Structure 1
Amino acid sequence: MTRTPDIASGRLNDTALAVNFSDAHPPLTKEQAVVEADRCFFCYDAPCTEACPTGIDIPKFIRGIATGNMRGSARTILESNILGGSCARVCPTEILCEEKCVHNTREEGHPIRIGALQRHATDWQMDHGGQPFTRAPETGRRIAVVGAGPAGLACAHRLAMHGHDVVLLDMHDHAGGLNEYGVAAYKLAGDFAQQEVAFLMEIGGITFKGDQKLGRDFSLSDLRRDYDAVFLGMGLAGVRALGIEGEALEGVQDAVAFIEDVRSRDKKTVPVGRRVVVIGGGNTAVDAAVQARRLGAEEVTLVYRRGHEQMSATPVEREWAQTNDVTVRLWSSPVRIVEEDGALAGVEFSRGAATGDGRATYDAQDTFIVPADMVLKAVGQLFVADPVSGDSILIEGGRIVVDGSYRTTMEGVYAGGDCTVGEDLTVAAVRDGRDAAEAMHLALCAAPVSGVPA
């Protein structure tokens, strides 16, 4: 008799789910923010600013909080990073700005809580007056931005500020990209991602068109014909396969798709296994594992093929997994998905050991099985090149090649964010979109307005 894996929705009631998916890190109160801001030394040539991919003048915005100039504080952040609200919530500040804080070298060793202060200032702005920037006179230029994630949104906003008309195209029904569909629900709680998109769109001059996919609904050649310039910010739409036996079994799915389900559906309707195995060692793996646990999974095991030091998940994320009762097993490589009576029953792993250079060697004869009703694969995402492979876009190492001005090898087409080589961070994608927009603006200003692509 064929059985089915124990995967079900509604394992927890509404009250429990509301608690589990509430804001993981509640905001600072006004008093807490002022006290924290007063700790800052307001360093000249501040190392924290140097560590921020978008170059936010961190001492300046913190001084604004300390002196009660909230509007000035928020503007300092947003003129460098228009998505400063979401970046304050999702950025690994512990390995960026906060890691470089000079307080780390002092006896107490506690850096300024820069991320929390940034959230305090940007939230204040969104609650007290909305968009702080005004749009320049219209230029008559039309630009297509493909991908409404952090890179595309930042690019669209900066182009609109310069007076250009922007059409933002995305395969999803809503703008936001990773922030809307790919981040753990407790990191961007409630509908903050859409609130931030609405805030950004207040600049004017930006038209969003959802359910529009490059290669299906339009081509790159179409865009070059109809627009003065094009920005590609599609991110990483593909996922790596494990390439092992049993991967097609019911109950085995991509962690990215699971996270999107959790973000876009009523939590009570998202099915989860009683025993879940997550394969991978990045932040996506941690997000999937913790959310599975918070949906009501009784046992969640995150398994990674190497050690802690090689995991791309930050130390804070690894600790977060363990404090949420996720079991972490290291030096284990998946061999096969185990099937019993026609259904998923577990994952077989081979034990490994470090070789001294950070790599691992595995013993095919030394294996163990972790029981599972659900397996979530989080072994990396890929850029899907098919929609642009027929055009003169150079792709190397699975990413679009750009020059120092974010220009691709196709005239008039720029790119940035995860689809190009970089840090694969939200804040880095914002920087790419912003700087690409500046480069596009300079090029468009130098070209005559003729009604045809420049």
Structure 2
Amino acid sequence: MAQGQFTDGIVAGRLAPPDYSANFSDLHPPLDQHEALVESDRCYFCYDAPCMQACPTSIDIPLFIREISTGNPLGAAKTIFDQNILGGMCARVCPTETLCEEACVRETAEGKPVQIGRLQRFATDVAMGAGRQFYQRAADTGKSVAIVGAGPAGLACAHRLSMLGHAVTVLDARPKPGGLNEYGIAAYKTPNGFAQAEVDYITGIGGITIENDKALGRDFSVSGLLEEHDAVFLGMGLAGVNALRAEGEEAHNVENAVDFIATLRQASDLSGIRIGRRVVVVGGGMTAVDAAVQARLLGAEEVTIAYRRGRESMNASAFEQDLAASKGVKIRHWVQPRRVLTEGGEVTGVELEYTSFEDGRLSGTGQTLVIEADQVFKAIGQNFVAAPLNGSGEKIAVEGGRIAVDGEGRTTMPRVWAGGDCVGVGEDLTVSAVAQGRDAAMSIHKALIG
């Protein structure tokens, strides 16, 4: 990673213009046809398919790999899209190393799994590049469904409902659809506007209307939607950001990592993004790694991730942790923020306290260290903001800080379903959100057709 002359403070344009393109190029370059054929031949096509069992959307992985190996990438794409219409994005951002590829028999036998994610990307890219649509809408049922949130759960739900013949209106608070895929994932994972291209591909089936800049609780209510539609699906994700609970966290240049990533993703010129010389990211998940790595790629000289537990407890996968280290990010374990140090209103460092387990509980040891910093990112998790839910009408139950749902995604309010990060089911992964949106659509369809 080339770097230019560093400047104190938080400034834009730390690197030479060509460096930005190089630093934010595709993390995993796509396989060409020959590479895909060679890689597909490594699959054992297992009868019990442990990889398929590990996939939250239950894609028939051996089948689509066999279709690639026989020169039928379009057939492979249909096999993928039958279960996961966002298969292109999931191929790019899923932690395959802890899902399908970890379960791969070749991983167990050789320590080198079949590259399932890259093969999935190869097939879906072929189909999307050719503009090949595999599905047509069924006859119009005369029913309509409102979907709140144009993220992975909402889009998956919308596509399946439209395919079944229902009219769908998707309302999203952001200026652009895509949710986490558009605003919350590192730019080097989804370059070249892929998130928007996938939205266009999904809505290409027809029958789906997306309305942006429409926020629940501000522009409409759940009860209001039920007056105009036959059912409602809630897939608005997590809007709140957890606080550090450290002295001085309101200081200038202490920012939310999710906002930093969103700003970076929407920037037309990366050289215009201001970044510090010394950056500290507090957290241990994927957002923390995405923020830290991108800070380095923007030209930060020193970037440190501070996490309160050990490496094995980090939500970021081992691959993501190794990626951060390969980009020069330092990861400090067993430390928690105690105080943000400032001078003249500007951040100068972070005081961290060492932590340890005592009697089964994490606690501070009283010993501290200081890391110099001029910019701090908070990445210690997001939370669901329930206030907009119950502006009128019946109450929607919330349990454990998320919307309570049954096994089919139904909430406690009649004719209202929910899925994705806003519900407390499964892991907060794109692929899990897709599965929940898809399955809720089938439950909604069953209810609407009686």
Q: 1: CA distance between counterparts of 2:243 and 2:284?
A: 15
- Residues 309-320 of structure 1: pairs in structure 2 closer than 5 A: 309-320=312-323
Q: Which whole-Å deviations, capped at 9, do the CAs of 1:264-293 have from their partners, x for residues lacking one?
A: 112112111111000000010000000001
* Pair 1:330-2:333 in alignment: yes
Structure 2 equivalent of residue 436 of structure 1? 440
Spell out the pairing of 1:24-423 with structure 2 (5 A cutoff): 24-106=27-109, 108-265=110-267, 266-355=269-358, 357=360, 359-364=361-366, 366-390=367-391, 391-421=394-424, 422-423=426-427
SS in 2 for 1:376: strand
How much does 1:355 deviate?
A: 4.0
Residue 356 (structure 1) shift: 7.8
* CA RMSD between the two structures: 1.3
Residue 21 (structure 1) shift:
0.8
Task: Say yes or no: does 1:425 pair with 2:415.
Answer: no
Choose which of 433, 436, 449 in structure 2 pairs with 1:445.
449
- State the secondary structure of the residue aligned to 2:117: helix
1:64·1:70 contact (CA, 8 Å) conserved in 2? yes
- Counterpart contact for 2:241–2:256, Cα < 8 Å: yes
Contact 1:22/1:190 (CA < 8 Å) preserved in 2? no
Q: What amino acid is aligned across from residue 159 of structure 2 in structure 1?
A: H
Separation of aligned partners in 2, 1:129 and 1:209? 24
Q: Where does structure 2 lack aligned partners over 5 or more consecutive residues? A: 1-7
Deviation at 1:118, TM superposition (A): 0.2
Q: Could you tell me whether the CA contact under 8 Å between 1:331 and 1:360 is conserved in 2?
A: no
Alpha-carbon distance in 2 for matches of 1:56, 1:114? 11
Helix, strand or coil at the partner of 1:144: strand
Unaligned runs of 5+ in 1: 447-454
Deviations 1:304-329 (A, max 9, x none): 01100111110000000000000111
Moved more, 347-356 or 6-15: 347-356
Q: Deviations over 1:175-234 (max 9, x none)?
A: 100000000000111200001110111100000100000000001111011111000000
Aligned-pair CA distance for 1:432: 0.4
Q: How far apart in 2 are the matches of 1:57 and 1:306?
A: 37
State the 1:140 CA deviation. Answer: 1.1
428-437 or 241-250, which deviates more: 241-250
> Do 2:222 and 2:390's aligned partners in 1 also have CA atoms closer than 8 Å?
no
Cα pair 2:252 2:345 within 8 Å, conserved: no
Q: Could you tell me whether the CA contact under 8 Å between 1:416 and 1:436 is conserved in 2?
A: yes
SS of alignment partner, residue 318 of structure 1: helix
Contact 1:406 1:436 in 2 (8 A): yes
Q: State the alpha-carbon separation in 1 of the partners of residues 136 and 365 from structure 2.
A: 62
- SS of match in other structure, 1:418: coil
DSSP 3-state at the match of 1:417? coil
Which residue does 2:5 correspond to in 1?
A: none
Taking structure 1 as the reference length, the TM-score comes to 0.95
In 2: Cα distance, 1:171 partner to 1:227 partner:
19
CA drift at 1:353: 2.9
Deviation at 1:354, TM superposition (A): 4.0
Q: Please give the alpha-carbon distance, in whole angstroms, between the structure 1 residues aligned to 2:359 and 2:96.
A: 30
AA matched with 2:400: G
Contact 2:278 2:301 in 1 (8 A): yes
Distance 1:419 1:303 in 2: 27
User: How far does residue 12 in structure 1 lie from its aligned partner after superposition?
Assistant: 1.6
The equivalent residue for 1:449 is none
Letter in 2 for 1:210: N
Which residue identity lines up with residue 71 of structure 2 in the other structure? G
The secondary structure found in structure 1 opposite 2:83 is coil
- Other-structure match for 1:451: none
Give 1:341 deviation, angstroms.
Answer: 2.8
CA distance in 2, matches of 1:355, 1:320: 31
The CA deviation at 1:22 is 0.9
- Separation in 1 of the partners of 2:41 and 2:381? 41
Residues 330-363 of structure 1: per-residue CA shift (max 9 Å, x gap): 1111101001233211100011234485x53322
